[in-house]
Structures are given as C-alpha cells and as structure tokens.
Amino acid sequence: MDSPFFTPHTNLPSDPPYSSSARGIPVRHHQTKASPKVVSIPVHFVGSERTRSESAVKIQKNFRGFLVRKTVNEIAAIRKEVEEMEKRIRREESVELLRRDSKERLKVNEALMSLVLRLDSVRGVDSGIRDCRKKMIKTAIALQEAVDAIAAADNEAEIVAEAVADDAIRESVDDVVEEKEIIYENETPFGGEERQSEGLNEENDDEVNSEVEKEKAQKRRNRDVMERMMEEKERMVGLMSDLVERNERQSRMICSLTHRVGRLERALLFDRLMRKKRRHAAGIANNSLNSSF
C-alpha cells in the first residue's frame, strides 16, 4: 500500500489540492453601444428677399388684430351688462319698484350712463367695432328712455288721480252748499207767516247767520285747498317738462359726442394709412436705389 506521505515530490501534482484547476487574469469586457439614430430636421431660413416694409406691415397687421380682439372682448362684456339691465327692467316687480321709488330710478339711470361712458371710452379701431359700439349706445339710451317713460306714466296717473279727487271735492262742496242753502231757505220765514215771538225769531236769525258764516269759511278753505293743489300740479308739470328737456339735451349731447368720436377715429385711421403708404413708398425707393448700385 502506497502512502501519499512517502511518495516522492516528483510524483505529486504541481498545483495544490485546494487551488482551482485554471486561474487566469480577469479582463473587463466593454459593452458596445449602438450609435443613435440621426434624424435630419429641415430648417427653413427666412429669405433675404423680404424687405423691411413687408416685415413692418406684417407686424402692424398682427398688432391690429390683437387690438381688434381686445376691443371686441370689452364691448362683449359691456353688452352682457346691458342685457342684464334690460332683463331687470322688463320684470314686473322691477317696473313696480321703479314706478314707486325715485331712488331706484336714479340708480338705474346712473348705471346706464356709466355703461354709455364706458362704451364711449372704447377705441374704435375698425368700422365694424364702431358700428357695434353705436348700436350698444343706442340700446342703453333706449333703456334710459324706457325708465323715464315709466316715471312719466306714474306722474301722469298721479295728476289724473289728483284731478279726479279735486272734481270730487268740488262736487261734494257744491252739494253741501246747495243743501245748506235749501235748509236756509226752508228755515227763513216768508212774509205773511205767523211767528210765535220775537225772541225766537232772533235766535233763529243768529243760528242762520252762524251757519252762513261757517259755510263761507268752509268755502274759503276749500278754495285755498284747490288753489294749493293747482299750484302743486303746475309745479309738477314744470318739473316734468324740465326733466324731459334735460333728457333730450343729454341725448343730443351723447349723440354729438359719438359722432365726434367717430370723426376723430376716422381721421386718425386715415393719418395712419397715409403714414404707412409714405413709409412703403420710401422703402420701395430705397430698395430700387440699392439694386441700382
């Protein structure tokens, strides 16, 4: 039996028993990445043939479109408010409130006037915008006239009621006077009738005289009341005429202001167009000179 401890070292394996059969140098492997896909994007450069005048015209066109959109949005917002005011005025409870309360009428008129002033402040950069603005101004003025008509109808109804009451009072006073005169005639003794005593006759005369004085005083008071009522009616009629004249003056003033603003806007637009044409002509002349050189 051969012992492994007594064998010669030449017969032993060269590697120790605990070592691996093959040992090599570690090598780091690099992973090759795929090259990215290149996509060509066409780039369009602005041609050099575009002149400065064409660029200016394009910029002005875009800016003008922006102004038009902004102005239209402002007019649309004001139009919405005007429509809300119109719906509010056309309701029956609102009509009754406007007929009774003068403060509410004044509040509505002030709100409509503020809307008209806001419409006047809107710039009319285009003829269509000017027409739309004029239409909304006319609508607001028509609503003001409707509110004034409600107040005028109420005042006319009050005047008619006062006149009817005056006629009734006058008729009642006349009836009372006639009755008193009839009583006085019945109580006044005619000639030829017998009287019981002179003292009784004197008392009757005193009573009749006192009744006559009372009737005269009542007539004077009624006359004074009628005169005061007539003066009050005349004063109300004068106030209504003054109010109508003032509304007419305001309407004429607003119409003249709208016409004046329209003329100024047309003049400004014409001036801008003339300046643009002059700049365009100057640019064409410069380009022709540059091309000739």
Distance CA 26, CA 241 (A): 115
Average pLDDT over residues 11-36: 57
The pLDDT, as a whole number, for residue 106 is 83
Residues 215, 218, 224, 230, Cα dihedral to 10°: -90
What is the percent of the chain where pLDDT is above 70?
Answer: 63
Task: Return the sign of the alpha-carbon dihedral for residues 214, 218, 223, 228.
Answer: positive
The pLDDT, as a whole number, for residue 196 is 47
Measure CA 140 to chain center: 8
Distance CA 82, CA 78 (A): 6
pLDDT digits (tens, 9 = 90+) for 112-155: 888 888 888 887 777 788 888 888 888 888 888 888 887 776 55
Distance CA 42, CA 158 (A): 84
Q: Tell me if 140 sits within 8 A of 84, measured CB to CB.
A: no
Sketch the domain layout of the chain as residue ranges: 54-186+213-284
Tell which residue, 163, 161, 159, 212, has the closest CA to residue 185: 212
Whether the per-residue pLDDT at 258 is higher than 60: the answer is: yes
Q: Which residue has the higher pLDDT, 131 or 180?
A: 131
Residues 188, 193, 196, 199, Cα dihedral to 10°: 40
The pLDDT, as a whole number, for residue 4 is 52
| Residue 258: other Cβ atoms inside 10 A | 20
The pLDDT, as a whole number, for residue 285 is 75
Q: Tell me if 137 sits within 8 A of 75, measured CB to CB.
A: no
Q: Which residue has the higher pLDDT, 141 or 47?
A: 141
| Residue 215: other Cβ atoms inside 10 A | 17
Whether the per-residue pLDDT at 275 is higher than 80: the answer is: yes
| Residue 230: other Cβ atoms inside 10 A | 13
pTM strictly above 0.85: no
Cα separations in angstroms, 105 against 60, 102, 209: 46, 5, 55
Place of tokens 């509505």: 108
Q: Tell me if 245 sits within 8 A of 14, measured CB to CB.
A: no
Distance CA 33, CA 30 (A): 9
Q: Tell me if 148 sits within 8 A of 243, measured CB to CB.
A: yes
Per the prediction, the chain carries an average pLDDT of 72
pLDDT digits (tens, 9 = 90+) for 102-114: 788 888 888 888 8
Tell which residue, 211, 157, 159, has the closest CA to residue 180: 211
